[in-house]
Structure 1
Amino acid sequence: MKDKTEKAGEQPPTVDERYTQWKSLVPVLYDWLANHNLLWPSLSCRWGPQFEQATYKNRQRLYLSEQTDGSVPNTLVIANCEVVKPRVAAAQHISQFNEEARSPFVKKFKTIIHPGEVNRIRELPQDSKIVATHTDSPDVLIWDVESQPNRHATLGVNNSRPDLILTGHQDNAEFALAMCPSEPFVLSGGKDKSVVLWSIHDHVSTLAAADQGETKSPGSGAGNSNPSAEGPTVQARGIFQGHDDTVEDVQFCPSSAQEFCSVGDDSCLIIWDARAGSSPAVKVEKAHNADLHCVDWNPHDVNYILTGSADNTVRMFDRRNLTSGGVGSPVHIFEGHTAAVLCVQWSPDKSSVFGSSAEDGILNIWDHERIGNWEDGASREDPTSPPGLFFRHAGHRDKVVDFHWNVADPWTIVSVSDDGESTGGGGTLQIWRMIDLIYRPEDEVLDELDKFKSHLLTCS
């Protein structure tokens, strides 16, 4: 799946050449694509709840951030997104987009004035209108995005007040953030080398105190530059020590609210069990050959954990056999990126499929069940393609800082890149769905092609 220009002894294509080649293939490779040029860079993007279904498209909330230059405040943005249904968009419509324009499919619905830049957004699975954000502070901020008032981002305006503030870190916690699939638990990691666990339900006593006049009611829109002074706070249920450097990402086990994992700049992957105390249950030394940036736990098969690193690789670990000779023993190492991997995420639809995005501007889609299977199309066309790689999204011109599979429409992905200098804006947000001929089973596709041929013969 390498570009044809990438042969032995030849220079790889430039970013512009790669982008031009990708754009020419959009009508062939994609069932739908929306390109949205951002006013400001965004470090995080997440799908919210679907709130309207129609014949040809569904409407859904989309959460993203605006990281400004200080001329206006940083914001948490709630947008309404029109998601075109599969097999609806025409090929010529898919290809007709201007990379320097804003997409009509994405419309800003509400703005929250955020105290500091938004580094990470995570929605609560039990109630996706509740989101947590990380900023450059030790606190995790909780927002009810539906009840929060809409604000205008003008210089000097007061910050919006979080509905809840989770305290417990001793130093800034900027990126590592996760929500539990089964309980209203929040997990965070930070520069204090700690992993911290909270329950949102623990705020009930705080709210009771607020009703008695001890605390201001949340969501009133009042605020100042110190978020800790605004809104009710919740103390941690547990603080877990075991990393030797900054914790960069955390993730819950999909089947247990008491088990979770973390990765950090110490090159370690740690499995924790809150029932067994605050020390690591399993510590994988040298899980990678460099800092670890991201981790995800397979929601369909809890034995598999993905990690992404500054060593440009994604590694898949089996929790039943994590180490060998005292160091990490991955099931497979995926080598398809040429720069640090920033985000990994399993598909919500198929247990063997996952995505990875990196500083090379590429978002790769993998299927680990295809490894060693030389019958799949990618291997047959290009034996030099990394094993397991079956789709490469090259629509971004710089590092892809975040992406999110859409649970309501499982093969639709939102991705965001920090490529403002290339696009004349603050960055690029893309919503896209590869054509289903790429990921459907081969026998199913061939059967459909045979039916199509029969139909053409009948018509003729």
Structure 2
Amino acid sequence: MSKRAAEDHEDGGVPLKGGERPEDAHLEDDEVGEFEDEFEDEYESEDEIIEAGVDGRPDAEREEEERAAMDVDQQTFIVGRHKLEPGQTLAPDPSTYEMLHALSTPWPCLSFDIIKDNLGNDRKTFPATMYAVAGTQADSKREKENQLMVMKFSGLSRMEREQDEEDSSDDEDEDADPILESKSIPLTSTTNRIRAYQLPASDSSRPPTTLTASMTEAGQVLIHDITPHLTSFDIPGTIITPQQNKPLSTLRMHKSEGYAVDWSPLVTTGKLVTGDNDGSIYVTTRTAGEGWTTDSRPFTGHTGSVEELQWSPSERNVFASASSDGTIKVWDVRSKSRTAALTVQVSNTDVNVMSWSRQTTHLLASGADDGVWAVWDLRQWKPNTSSSTPAKPTPVASFDFHKEQITSVEWHPTDDSIVAVAAGDNTLTLWDLAVELDDEESKDTGGVSGVPPQLLFVHYMEHVKECHWHPQIPGCVVGTGDTFNVFKTISV
């Protein structure tokens, strides 16, 4: 998984790969900031689903001409496949979104995670509120400005519709401005990957303990307790002490930096698996005394860097790893040999990301450097044999729609046919694997040539690196890139 280059513009350095870095908007630890919500009033931003059309002036005659010629002038614009003609500009279709917001942070974030809250499940009311944690990638000359950001997004209103204006009420909450509140934990290194985990609360009157594990560019794994920071958003006057900003533990077993980290969803006391660029994988467990112990013997076998790790959602001793050697391996922590039980060649390029379905646990999705993402049935994978050549099973589904590396893939938390995919072509796409069209039906869909019928939605977003579904707000997707985007579509 490649990092974005980060050099200071003022010093004449190279900007972020393919784009500009957001202006420094440093927030103090307790500062409340507003969203840079470029979608709220105007729909001419690049960070959204887009269509190509003739640029029109806002006079009534021109607007009438545009409406009359809409079936001619407007067409679906596919990033990386279509080019704008002279005089054409990109404009979004706001009617396809139920919610759409964007916000900037002091520095871009390579990774983030959504924090489950006590506001209820299956939330469909607006304005929405959510909590998240992220790690920054500061300029290489200003590494001491890196931070772990604990965030609260509130006032996330839904898109305004014509019928909304007709039925408009004086409900101030519905028209509330989006707000970003942030608590910062100082770091001295870029966060390559961050994941959060909540320990079950022993007392129902108290919030669960929320832990984060950060894989840093310095090769360390930092474990923080961010419970006080989350509490401070909703209890005025809460003070975060310097001691509460310090990590509970700093793990130094890795000899190189890494991007792979995951908490076990089935070990309620806290269990962590981490991997590095040397191909080593370590398992760390929280002890009864609230300390942390790491197995001295790593799991080895990959000939390239470990790019992604995920625990099985159904087997507490099993995890999977994806590597730049093009393979995915499945491991059992009880193995005395520390070798993989299954090894499958899923790509001829780096396998950057993967996602294990929580609903149908024999399904695994992978994303590779060649832009292909695929779905695999683990029941078809055979145990390793004495042969040194990895097995090459056939995927259940495979898509080469994206023309740049896949940077994130995640199954919908409650629907085993819906998948979100982010890629280096600046798009975040939503897919429905349940859609199956034969040749005759495909001719009648009116779709764009070369676009799979399973593709539900394309959201344009500069340098998108990671995406997650919100587990408590159905259909809500959050992505990180040059900015954070929070959106919910009409189609999901």
Identify the TM-score tier after normalising by the shorter chain.
Answer: 0.7 to 0.9
Q: Contact 1:191/1:247 (CA < 8 Å) preserved in 2? A: yes
Superposition pairs for residues 132-147 of structure 1, below 5 Å?
Answer: 132-147=213-228
Letter of the aligned partner of 2:457 in structure 1? Answer: F
> Are 2:455 and 1:389 aligned?
yes
TM-score normalised by L of structure 2: 0.69
Note the C-alpha offset of 1:198. 1.4
Note the C-alpha offset of 1:333. 0.9
Structure with greater helix percent: 1
Letter of the aligned partner of 1:90 in structure 2? Answer: E
Q: Contact 1:189/1:196 (CA < 8 Å) preserved in 2? A: yes
Relative to structure 1, is the Cα distance of residues 194 and 288 closer, same or farther in structure 2, using a 3 angstrom cutoff? same
Aligned length: 376
Letter of the aligned partner of 1:136 in structure 2? Answer: E
The equivalent position to 1:78 in structure 2, one of 128, 144, 150, is: 150
The equivalent position to 1:263 in structure 2, one of 295, 317, 322, is: 322
Letter of the aligned partner of 2:343 in structure 1? Answer: K
The unaligned stretches of length 5 or more in structure 2 are 1-48, 53-74, 165-175, 200-207, 233-241, 383-388
Correspondence for 1:119: 192
The equivalent position to 1:274 in structure 2, one of 328, 333, 344, is: 333
The CA distance in 1 between the partners of 2:87 and 2:357, in whole Å, is 35
The CA distance in 2 between the partners of 1:17 and 1:257, in whole Å, is 58
Relative to structure 1, is the Cα distance of residues 380 and 186 closer, same or farther in structure 2, using a 3 angstrom cutoff? same
Correspondence for 1:251: 310
Correspondence for 1:179: 263
Letter of the aligned partner of 1:60 in structure 2? Answer: M
> Are 2:458 and 1:401 aligned?
no
Cα RMSD of the aligned pairs, angstroms, is: 3.5
What is the CA deviation profile of residues 290-333 of structure 1, one whole-angstrom value per residue up to 9, with x for unaligned ones? 01100110000111101100011001111011379932421111
Relative to structure 1, is the Cα distance of residues 17 and 114 closer, same or farther in structure 2, using a 3 angstrom cutoff? farther
Q: Contact 1:167/1:234 (CA < 8 Å) preserved in 2? A: no
Relative to structure 1, is the Cα distance of residues 240 and 336 closer, same or farther in structure 2, using a 3 angstrom cutoff? same
Q: Contact 2:112/2:480 (CA < 8 Å) preserved in 1? A: yes
The CA distance in 2 between the partners of 1:76 and 1:325, in whole Å, is 39
Decide which moves more: 290-299 or 314-323. 314-323
What is the CA deviation profile of residues 18-37 of structure 1, one whole-angstrom value per residue up to 9, with x for unaligned ones? 9x53x430x21100111113
The CA distance in 1 between the partners of 2:163 and 2:108, in whole Å, is 27
> Are 2:175 and 1:91 aligned?
no
Relative to structure 1, is the Cα distance of residues 5 and 284 closer, same or farther in structure 2, using a 3 angstrom cutoff? same
Relative to structure 1, is the Cα distance of residues 5 and 91 closer, same or farther in structure 2, using a 3 angstrom cutoff? closer
Letter of the aligned partner of 1:384 in structure 2? Answer: G
Decide which moves more: 172-181 or 259-268. 172-181
The equivalent position to 1:311 in structure 2, one of 363, 370, 381, is: 370
Q: Contact 1:374/1:380 (CA < 8 Å) preserved in 2? A: no
The CA distance in 2 between the partners of 1:376 and 1:145, in whole Å, is 51
Superposition pairs for residues 38-49 of structure 1, below 5 Å?
Answer: 38-49=105-116
Identity %: 22
The CA distance in 2 between the partners of 1:75 and 1:47, in whole Å, is 17
The equivalent position to 2:103 in structure 1, one of 36, 45, 49, is: 36
Relative to structure 1, is the Cα distance of residues 205 and 354 closer, same or farther in structure 2, using a 3 angstrom cutoff? closer
The equivalent position to 1:130 in structure 2, one of 202, 207, 211, is: 211
The unaligned stretches of length 5 or more in structure 1 are 95-102, 151-156, 207-232, 418-426, 440-460
Q: Contact 1:125/1:181 (CA < 8 Å) preserved in 2? A: no
Note the C-alpha offset of 1:125. 4.7
Q: Contact 1:186/1:198 (CA < 8 Å) preserved in 2? A: yes
Superposition pairs for residues 277-316 of structure 1, below 5 Å?
Answer: 277=336, 278-285=338-345, 287-316=346-375
